């Protein structure tokens, strides 16, 4: 039931911290960086109240390491950062992906590259979130568009991390991180929580990386008597390093395939006015808020426009997108970058329809008017 008490004005970053604790996060390790610092600040105040640990590490690499270490020990853990710090975390992210240790990483995107524009929004890390660490690896990336969705997706990130035994990244942009909106906390009173699938049963002969069928092995809890080995070297079912082609092939196929086996739980989209849409605008994060407005402005002018918003950005919700985009005359992809998600959009539908981008990367959010004008110009060509 919604009461006034449940309605709270929350900043995106703070909502993320509260949601993480709600989801069971009990360790936060981070290093200050604008525009993400409020997450660490909130965690430092809130975690001790629930018996959790906040630790400000010496850098982002250490933060990511501490998060993985804590999670390996069985405690849900998170870190938060922005551009330069996200770059530093990449090696450890790959380690978490390969060793299949759950973790949640928040990247509040700011202008880049390098130090860029620390206080300005951007969406320049779309491809880094997908491919930032070296080698083929599974990736789950979520991208909320409101403070309430920050709350929901943070909880979901922890659940997916446990379900899939993989790092889950949430991308905000500076605007989402600093936006203050009313959140109805009643919605989150009894959230569905996914906990670790700990190994049980026989200890003898336990194989820490054996596929139980859904692609996600059971994890041994340190201290449970299984005494397993965890390594960032390629390993087989036993967890010990191997360079045997067959073993590595089998391992990698499972690792890369496990997300697809849980596609229904992983993929989440928001499609609005897409059924009859001639123009489909694909947008995410704060840009999707502008796109949503642009769609109704275009509709007011008699142009059948729709919004396709991936809430799960990676893996990109391919079939849901194809279903709405293939019949459109135009697919427009506004992004606060030089054109990143558009590459995926083109890959999927450029043989069926016209795909165009609206790319602004000077640290200002894209406005509804800019999207409307771009759509009109393209339609009149």
Instruction: Supply φ then ψ for residue 291, to 5 degrees.
Output: -65, -35
User: 48 or 257, CB closer to another protein?
Assistant: 48
Instruction: Supply φ then ψ for residue 110, to 5 degrees.
Output: -130, 170
Q: Helices (DSSP H) in 50-100: which residue ranges?
A: 60-72, 83-88, 90-99
Using CB under 8 A, which of 1, 5, 58, 362 touches another protein?
58
Positions 213 through 232 that interact with another protein (CB under 8 A): 222-225, 227-232
Asked if residue 265 lies in contact with residue 160, where contact means CB atoms within 8 angstroms, the answer is yes
Does the protein bind another protein through residue 129 (CB under 8 A)? no
Does the protein bind another protein through residue 72 (CB under 8 A)? yes
Does the protein bind another protein through residue 189 (CB under 8 A)? no
| End-to-end alpha carbon distance in the chain | 51
Of 52-60, 134-142, 254-262, 337-345: span binding another protein (CB under 8 A): 52-60
Return the H-helix or E-strand segment holding 56. strand 53-56
Dist. CA 250–CA 178, nearest whole Å: 44
Does the protein bind another protein through residue 17 (CB under 8 A)? no
Q: 3-state class of 124 per DSSP?
A: coil
Instruction: Supply φ then ψ for residue 370, to 5 degrees.
Output: -60, -40
> Hey, how many other C-beta atoms are within 10 angstroms of the C-beta on 260?
12
Produce one character per residue of 326-358: b if its CB has 16 or more CB atoms within 10 Å, e if not.
Answer: ebbebbbbbbbbeebbbebbbebbeeebebbbb
Min CB(235)–another protein separation in Å: 10
User: 5 or 49, CB closer to another protein?
Assistant: 49
Min CB(24)–another protein separation in Å: 13
Does the protein bind another protein through residue 53 (CB under 8 A)? yes
Strand partners, 162: none
Does the protein bind another protein through residue 240 (CB under 8 A)? yes
User: 65 or 357, CB closer to another protein?
Assistant: 65
Note the Cα 79 to chain centre separation in Å. 13
Which of 89, 82, 130, 135 has the alpha carbon at shortest distance from 109? 82
Min CB(70)–another protein separation in Å: 4
Instruction: Supply φ then ψ for residue 80, to 5 degrees.
Output: -140, 145
Of 13-21, 46-54, 175-183, 365-373: span binding another protein (CB under 8 A): 46-54
Min CB(259)–another protein separation in Å: 23
Number of residues that bind another protein (CB under 8 A): 42
Using CB under 8 A, which of 16, 40, 70, 171 touches another protein?
70
Min CB(67)–another protein separation in Å: 6
Does the protein bind another protein through residue 360 (CB under 8 A)? no
Dist. CA 110–CA 363, nearest whole Å: 8
Return the H-helix or E-strand segment holding 355. strand 354-359
User: 212 or 222, CB closer to another protein?
Assistant: 222
Give how far Cα 71 sits from Cα of 133, 220, 221, Å.
20, 12, 10
Does the protein bind another protein through residue 71 (CB under 8 A)? yes
Min CB(75)–another protein separation in Å: 4
Does the protein bind another protein through residue 32 (CB under 8 A)? no
Min CB(210)–another protein separation in Å: 17
Min CB(231)–another protein separation in Å: 4
- What is the pattern of x (binds another protein, CB under 8 A) and - over residues 95-114? x-------------------
Positions 337 through 356 that interact with another protein (CB under 8 A): none
Min CB(159)–another protein separation in Å: 19
User: 26 or 268, CB closer to another protein?
Assistant: 26
Does the protein bind another protein through residue 65 (CB under 8 A)? yes
Dist. CA 9–CA 12, nearest whole Å: 10
Dist. CA 324–CA 327, nearest whole Å: 7
Can you give the binding site for another protein, defined by CB under 8 A? 26-27, 29, 48-49, 53, 55, 57-59, 61-75, 77, 91-92, 95, 222-225, 227-233, 240-241
């Amino acid at each position: 039931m919604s009461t006034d008490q449940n309605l709270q004005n929350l900043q995106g970053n703070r909502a993320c911290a509260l949601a993480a604790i709600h989801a069971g996060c009990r360790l936060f390790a981070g290093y200050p960086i604008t525009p993400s610092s409020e997450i660490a600040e909130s965690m430092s105040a809130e975690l001790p109240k629930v018996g959790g640990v906040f630790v400000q590490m010496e850098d982002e690499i250490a933060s990511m390491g501490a998060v993985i270490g804590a999670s390996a020990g069985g405690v849900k853990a998170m870190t938060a950062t922005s551009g330069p710090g996200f770059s530093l975390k990449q090696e450890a992210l790959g380690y978490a992906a390969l060793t299949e240790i759950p973790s949640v990483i928040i990247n509040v995107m700011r202008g880049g590259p390098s130090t860029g524009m620390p206080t300005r929004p951007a969406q320049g890390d779309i491809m880094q979130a997908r491919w930032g660490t070296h080698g083929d690896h599974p990736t789950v990336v979520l991208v909320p568009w409101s403070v309430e969705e920050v709350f929901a997706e943070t909880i979901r990130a922890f659940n997916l991390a446990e379900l899939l035994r993989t790092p889950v990244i949430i991308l905000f942009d500076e605007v989402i991180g600093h936006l203050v909106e009313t959140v109805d906390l009643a919605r989150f009173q009894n959230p569905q929580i996914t906990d670790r699938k700990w190994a049980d049963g026989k200890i003898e002969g336990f194989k820490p990386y054996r596929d139980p069928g859904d692609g996600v092995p059971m994890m041994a809890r340190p201290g449970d008597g299984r005494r397993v080995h965890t390594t960032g070297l390629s390993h087989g079912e036993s967890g010990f390093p191997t360079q045997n082609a067959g073993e590595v092939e089998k391992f990698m196929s499972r690792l890369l395939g496990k997300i697809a086996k849980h596609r229904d739980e992983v993929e989440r989209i928001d499609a609005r006015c897409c059924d009859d849409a001639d123009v489909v605008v694909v947008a995410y994060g704060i840009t999707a808020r502008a796109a949503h407005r642009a769609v109704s402005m275009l509709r007011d002018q008699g142009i059948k426009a729709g919004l396709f918003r991936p809430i799960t950005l990676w893996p990109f919700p391919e079939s849901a997108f194809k279903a709405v985009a293939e019949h459109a005359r135009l697919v427009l992809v506004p992004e606060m970058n030089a054109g990143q998600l558009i590459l995926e959009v083109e890959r999927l539908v450029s043989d069926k329809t016209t795909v165009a981008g609206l790319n602004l990367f000077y640290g200002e959010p894209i406005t509804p008017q800019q999207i409307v004008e771009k759509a009109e110009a393209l339609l009149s060509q």
